[in-house]
A and B are shown apart, each in its own frame.
Chain A
């Protein structure tokens, strides 16, 4: 019995000591595989991992390069924040009021498989190629998963908690804000995490279509001009942004919902 317990703690200790470095090891492994693959292929259009990494400081050190990337991040933040503000109340209302759910469900179902970045050419006709249309597209792309997760979260709230709230004389709005919202929070945050990845993807695509500024603009212009080191360096930068944002959000999520069973949610990435 004691042997089993001892074995268990030993593996747990090893698990703890390796666990924080595992993603780092995975990154190194991927870069190594890339390096070997590129050397084996030996074509001009696929630079080695080291060449691409060397091009990263050139982009980040360049004033306009950095400004482009910060532009992208600003648009993404505005689109994401406004989507969160609109989607969570709507999703919660859909989860608690059946009529609201049946009102919005079909339209959400119809619009779900439409790539929101594909609306970009149409929206550009109306609003131009500036910040407004790109932010709008990011907003549209992010709303759906957050609405959906808030909806599912609110639907699953235990009825007894709502009855107790009502018995204590809370108004419907108070029940929403003080019972449904916190109870659905783990699910809502799972939706926000998906939304975060989605916002980044839409950001890149919208800039690919409306080449005016931004990280996607640098990436696809470099592709068109055959500057392959820059292409792959931008891929590294955008990929790193995704990993960093996701890790930061995960820390926030853990702090906010430390009370719930930690679901090891890795985001289901959308496009």
Chain B
């Protein structure tokens, strides 16, 4: 077991090291001028240096705030609507066609409309994150809740659980694995979308840093926000994984 684990780590590290090596090689053998491709060392030094500065942290904080608020609203709405649609026929009849129409619409195209409606501040960016993160959570909640074992509901009712309590005592926990899978996808999407929104209406945030650097051809500064958003995604993903372990205690290996 331990042998396979360490073998996995070694194998997985190879492409990452390879990319860094090729990147460094291209720079040091002079195939690309530093203005087009900065050496990887310089990028990491800049990243570490920036992490100590207040400006960079403030920009990162703005991104994180939008991400967090948008994701939370999407999760509450998605789980709520998904559960209601799964148990109530009338809600289902309304929600289903709406989702079918709205899910394949590319939400970034809606961003100009959101800008005109909500302005250039937090609200329009958060609204875009909600619009994009909502559907994966809603759909996975819906599928999770519609495919639960009917016997669970029957036995809860037979044991005297009031029907309205069945929803959050039986259906919600039983759909939890599926819901969390949806949340994981939505989290990645939120990272991507918040960054794009900040690139389009650049006022602050990591996306703005990238656009600002691109305008002044500061290639080193262009790579820093890209690596930051990747790190942010990895950290949030790890947190969600931890939450999943706590929430799914007692489930048979998910």
Contacts from A to B (Cβ < 8 Å): 22-23, 25-27, 29-30, 45-46, 99, 102-107, 109-115, 117-119, 121-122, 125-126, 197, 200-201, 204-205, 208-209, 216, 219-220, 223, 228, 231-232, 234-235, 238-239, 242-243, 245-246, 266-271
* Contact present for B109 and A238 (CB under 8 Å): yes
Q: Are A228 and B229 in contact (CB under 8 A)?
A: no
A103, B219: Cβ atoms closer than 8 Å: no
**Shortest beta-carbon distance from B200 to chain A in Å:** 6
Which one, A125, A197, A209, A238, contacts B199 given CB within 8 A?
A: A209
Residue pair B210, A118 in contact (C-beta under 8 Å): yes
B7 cross-chain contacts in A, Cβ below 8 A: 102
Say yes or no for B226: interface residue by CB 8 A criterion: yes
How far, in whole Å, are A160 and B110 apart by their CA atoms in the complex? 48
User: Which residues of the other chain, A, contact B37 by a CB distance below 8 angstroms?
Assistant: 126
Known interface pairs A22-B96, A45-B116, A112-B188; 15 further A-B residue pairs with C-beta atoms within 8 A, sorted by A's residue number: A25-B97, A29-B98, A30-B98, A106-B15, A109-B237, A113-B233, A118-B207, A118-B226, A122-B223, A197-B103, A204-B106, A220-B112, A268-B136, A271-B192, A271-B193
B117: chain A residues at CB < 8 Å are 46
Give the complex CA separation of A155 and B208 in angstroms: 40
Q: Which of B15, B99, B105, B222 has the most CB of A within 10 A?
A: B105
Q: Which residues of B contact A235 (CB under 8 A)?
A: 109-110, 112-113
Q: Are A113 and B97 in contact (CB under 8 A)?
A: no
CA–CA, A104 and B115, complex, Å: 39
Cβ distance B98 to chain A, nearest Cβ, rounded Å: 5
The answer to whether A118 touches B199 (Cβ under 8 A) is: yes
Q: Which residues of B contact A (CB under 8 A)?
A: 7-8, 11-16, 19, 32, 36-37, 93, 96-110, 112-113, 115-117, 132, 135-136, 139-140, 182, 185, 188-189, 191-193, 195-196, 199-200, 207, 210-211, 214, 217, 219, 222-223, 225-226, 229-230, 232-234, 237
Bound Cα distance A72, B8 (Å): 41
B109 touching A113 by the CB < 8 A rule?
A: no
Contact between A205 and B196, CB atoms less than 8 A apart: yes
Chain B residues lying within 8 Å of A243, measured Cβ to Cβ, are: 101, 104-105
- Nearest opposing residue in chain A for B191, CB measure: A113
How many angstroms from the CA of A66 to the CA of B223 in the assembled complex?
A: 36
A115 engages B195 (CB within 8 Å): yes
List 9 interface pairs A-B (beta carbons < 8 Å), by A numbering. A99-B11, A113-B188, A113-B232, A113-B233, A223-B116, A231-B112, A231-B113, A242-B105, A269-B107
A115 and B16 contacting across the interface, CB-CB below 8 Å: no
B108: chain A residues at CB < 8 Å are: 201, 204-205, 208, 271
Contacts A112-B233, A113-B229, A115-B195; A266 near B100 (Cβ below 8 A): yes
A117 to B211, CA, bound (A): 12
Q: Are B207 and A232 in contact (CB under 8 A)?
A: no
Tell me the complex Cα distance, A30–B98, Å: 8
Whether B99 and A266, one on each chain, are in contact in the complex, defined by CB atoms closer than 8 angstroms, is yes
